[in-house]
Structure 1
């Protein structure tokens, strides 16, 4: 049986550009990346060999940029087919127009490239972005299990429209698509506690940000991806992703709020990895950054961070550092300062206050705050908030025969809470 011919388009383009070996192209990509403002990118012969195979994987945005710069052709002209895009039909082959829903557990889907003909009107980017903006607002009040499928279906629509959309609407559409995937990834990680699924979705957000050439959206996707190893106690990977996020942010005019949020994310990772003192230093730097301010505007999609939410990060870190009086004061100030729509964050703060009281040997007060958190979770589900309550219950083991703890157990394991938690 003869072998498939491989990606002859890329090989032909490589030879035409004067790179007579795969090693020569790999070296050129590595050397050219810094000249385009891309740091830390290195490509080896093995990767070139995969690209010249019969089923070449779609390169990441930075590699995409360097490769098209060196060879002077689009990715599709170089023989790459986005996994969500239908392969180019062979002559005489019927075209299957059946919509395909991307499934998790299969090959990672990517954002499609632009086709030769743009068939969508110039308004398509604005129209798609309007729905994305509505989903972002609905996140604060709609149940995550209800909103999540709608956001993913909207993203699927965006991937269908992207190859049919010409510039400048294409850039608007790609940016909104990145926002949709970012929102879906946030729901998966924070609300539904599905880190593996969130990792794939956030990678798609990064791919879409690359298509939009939006470094801040890319930085946001990378910083969210840092949460995943950070919460798994993999500090090395979390720090590496935060380094990438900061590199992307430097390519754009990031606001003071954006830089402070990056510090807060890294602080959360440091806290989770057992170094709350390093985390407090990062939080203090974020406070200084916000106090000084910056001339650049914060993107409207960065609606999950503010001074009061930075204080919530700080209160949790003070708790982990065993600075209990300071944590108690900080968290009470956060409760007073949270806006009415921040019910998800409220459950986390109540859980942290319960943990402060438990650590201070005050089980009655701990149970009171934990029950308040459960009352809020019954209205607005948030997996991160439920995790906080469960952590508190574990620390209350020395008082498990106390009536207040039994009352908490009755509330924690009532029919509705138990079934709801297991369903999610």
Structure 2
């Protein structure tokens, strides 16, 4: 008996548990007026290969949830039997219909299921909204925070909250509150990155409430993580430390070392901001230890994809510079830039700017200015997010303080003014 790896991979990609898949299939069956009898045990039989060819309606439900054929999900019809689809041509049309309806999500026909079940919102609706979060995360990674992204995130939160009024169960209601919390946290992060701190604070307060209503520890950690970034941005350093420690206290940090590592890293920045060198280095050590224990293949929400060894190195550079170890900050920045994936363009630009600051703080003015210019090269073609513009302002201020009359400083200031006027 051979395990069904295709189905297991699809389950992981969709971020579903076995129980959630069973519930999604049952939701679909009920929308057709059929009895939903799929259980965790049924899903286990599919995954282990004990059941190689589910019943026709179950196959239809699985194809709807995942947006592909039963064969593509690893199921095999008995020898000599055709699939439930009438022809290969109809299979192709069916798949195209799923793909175009879903705009790239894994739950291809979810909207059709919701329409067929207007008074009972279920797991398929949750999946559809979760997939929308992935789209926003990709947009944030490529463009940074901006008002259109913020509005889209708030619209997603509003839809989740409207749907929870018609939830088929209390469990679905809680999940929708958690989805709304994540959409609101996405809006908050966009405002943080755009340097719109008042709006960001309002969104984070709302997201904190929604995460509590949804009993969603991952969303809760996400909110406290953003709280820590916002507080540091506003130079409210004790609050930044408190937010990092609140992130550490969420239950998900006990289940997943990667989230624990992120919380410790954020706390390390908080300690460095208040001048606690020992606390900063201790928290960095905890972050490194936790990250080394984190399983890489664990299914996680897309918003945390930015965090890993490269991002921890970038955070290490911030912490080292904050405690006066500019040489250590420069070394960590170089290692971070060697490891940050190319698609995280904004993160690479921020790490480059941190490298320039570390070089400047060692009085290597010519090299620091040359490094800082690379930020404009990396972000060419895109408006600079407010947060990045603010950090460039920090570099400009320190440069003016350390070497106001050097030739490199004068040339960089001219370049800075020119790029600044074009980057809005």
TM-score of the alignment, normalized to the shorter chain, above 0.5 = yes
1:148 CA drift (Å)? 2.2
Unaligned 5+ runs, structure 1: 1-117
Task: Supply the distance in 2 between the matched residues of 1:243 and 1:396 (Cα, whole angstroms).
Answer: 33
Task: Work out which of the residue numbers 398, 409, 413 in structure 1 matches 2:413.
Answer: 409
Aligned residue in 1 for 2:188:
185
Deviation at 1:202, TM superposition (A): 1.4
User: Paired residue for 2:264?
Assistant: 263
Q: What are the equivalent positions in structure 2 for 1:21-420 lying under 5 Å apart?
A: 119-122=119-122, 123-145=124-146, 146-167=148-169, 168-189=171-192, 191-249=193-251, 253-293=254-294, 297=298, 299-301=300-302, 302-380=304-382, 381-397=384-400, 398-414=402-418, 417-418=420-421, 420=423
Q: Whole-Å Cα distance in 2 between the matches of residues 154 and 326 of structure 1?
A: 42
Structure 1 position 121, deviation (Å) = 3.7
The Cα shift of 1:235 comes to 4.2
Inter-partner Cα distance in structure 1 for 2:230 and 2:311: 19
- Unaligned 5+ residue runs, structure 2? 1-117
Report the CA distance between 1:341 and its aligned residue.
1.0
- Cα distance change on mapping 1:162 and 1:382 into 2, 3 Å: same
TM (normalized to structure 2)?
0.65
TM-fit CA distance, 1:253: 4.8
Query: What's the RMSD between the two structures over aligned residues?
Result: 2.6
8 Å Cα contact 2:185/2:207 also seen in 1: yes
SS of the aligned residue for 2:301 comes to coil
- CA distance in 2: counterparts of 1:230 and 1:400, whole angstroms: 27
Query: What secondary structure, in the 3-state scheme, does the structure 2 residue paired with 1:270 have?
Result: helix
Structure 1 residue 283, shift from structure 2 partner: 0.8
Matched residue SS, 2:357: helix
Cα displacement string for residues 227-272 of structure 1 (whole angstroms, at most 9, x for unaligned residues): 333444444433443443333326x753111001001111122223
Contact 2:150 2:188 in 1 (8 A): no
Select the structure that is richer in helix. Answer: 2
SS of alignment partner, residue 271 of structure 2: helix
More divergent stretch after superposition (392-401 vs 259-268): 392-401
The CA distance in 1 between the partners of 2:184 and 2:332, in whole Å, is 33
Number of residue equivalences: 302
Q: Which of 229-238 and 170-179 deviates more?
A: 229-238
SS of the equivalent of 2:143 reads coil
Partner of 1:40: none
Contact 1:351 1:369 in 2 (8 A): yes
- 1:371-406 deviations in whole A, cap 9, x for unaligned? 111222344423333333222222222433333222
- Measure, in 2, the Cα distance between the counterparts of 1:241 and 1:143: 23
Cα deviation digits, residues 102-154 of structure 1 (max 9, x gap):
xxxxxxxxxxxxxxxx8244232222222122212222113532322222222
Instruction: Confirm or deny: 8 A CA contact 2:211 2:219 kept in the other structure.
Output: yes
Report the counterpart of residue 61 of structure 1 in structure 2.
none
Would you say the 8 A contact 1:311–1:330 is kept in 2?
yes
**Contact 1:254 1:298 (8 Å CA) reproduced:** no
Contact 1:315 1:330 in 2 (8 A): yes
Q: CA deviation at 1:298?
A: 5.9
